[in-house]
């Protein structure tokens, strides 16, 4: 990802970059390489008759980057889990629960704890707690669903599932990476 303050600089690099990559036998993926207007929403230029597009959002490294207002009312760039990555991770948990529903609850819980912790280690950033909380809820829902499918009489109600979670607790969503945490050497 390259970020530019001026659009003409971005266009100039966008034209030269494929040639520089070609020197080393590399190419840019045409679907993944593009210019995204990501201007500060409060500083939009208003020219006579020229309407600028709204500041865009883009997906990069599993996050959707977008502009939003902070608690103090100022525009700040924020990140949230990209929809495609959220869906992909949830489907992977769904497939795993289906394939391993015959295993003991202790093994299932240990693996799900590991999966949730790994997900939080990557996606647990400042401002992404709604997506993290939703992912944790959906994992619990999927696990209960597949525990109910262990046999014809194995239906697990939410009350019974709460008792299972008391014995085999899953972690709560945690933001491991904070944008507000100070660095070690200021």
Q: In the predicted model, is pLDDT for residue 177 greater than 60?
A: yes
Q: HSE on the CB side for 129, CA within 13 Å? A: 9
Residue 111 lies in a domain: yes
pLDDT digits (tens, 9 = 90+) for 104-158: 999 999 999 999 999 999 999 988 999 999 999 999 999 999 999 988 888 999 9
143 inside domain: yes
* Domain-embedded: residue 122: yes
Is residue 173 within 8 Å of residue 166, measured between CB atoms?
no
- Rounded to whole angstroms, how far apart are CA atoms 171 and 112? 9
Query: Quick check: is 44 in a domain?
Result: no
Domain span at residue 139? Answer: 82-167
Residue 41 is assigned to a structural domain of this protein? no
Structural domain includes residue 26: no
Tell whether 56 is covered by a domain.
no
d(CA 61, CA 85): 9
User: Could you report the per-residue pLDDT of 6-51, keeping only the tens digit for each?
Assistant: 888 888 988 888 888 889 999 888 888 888 777 777 665 555 555 5
pLDDT given for residue 107 in this prediction: 96
d(CA 27, CA 14): 13
179 pLDDT above the threshold of 70: no
pLDDT per residue as tens digits for the range 69-111:
888 888 888 899 999 999 999 999 999 999 999 999 999 999 9
Instruction: Tell me phi and psi for residue 33, to 5 degrees.
Output: -110, 120
């Amino acid at each position: 990802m390259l970020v530019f303050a001026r659009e003409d600089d971005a266009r100039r690099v966008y034209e030269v970059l494929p040639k520089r990559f070609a020197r080393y036998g590399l190419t840019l993926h045409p679907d993944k390489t593009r210019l995204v207007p990501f201007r500060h929403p409060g500083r939009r230029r208003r020219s006579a008759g020229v309407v600028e597009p709204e500041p865009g959002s883009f997906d990069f490294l599993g996050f959707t980057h977008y502009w939003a207002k902070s608690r103090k009312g100022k525009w700040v760039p924020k990140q949230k889990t990209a929809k495609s990555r959220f869906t992909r991770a949830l489907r992977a948990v769904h497939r795993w629960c289906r394939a391993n529903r015959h295993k003991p609850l202790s093994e299932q819980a240990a693996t799900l704890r590991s999966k949730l912790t790994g997900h939080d280690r990557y996606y647990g950033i400042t401002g992404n707690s709604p997506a993290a909380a939703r992912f944790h809820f959906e994992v619990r829902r999927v696990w209960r669903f597949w525990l109910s499918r262990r046999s014809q009489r194995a239906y697990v109600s939410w009350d019974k599932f709460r008792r299972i979670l008391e014995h085999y607790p899953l972690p709560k969503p945690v933001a491991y990476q904070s944008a507000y945490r100070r660095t070690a050497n200021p």
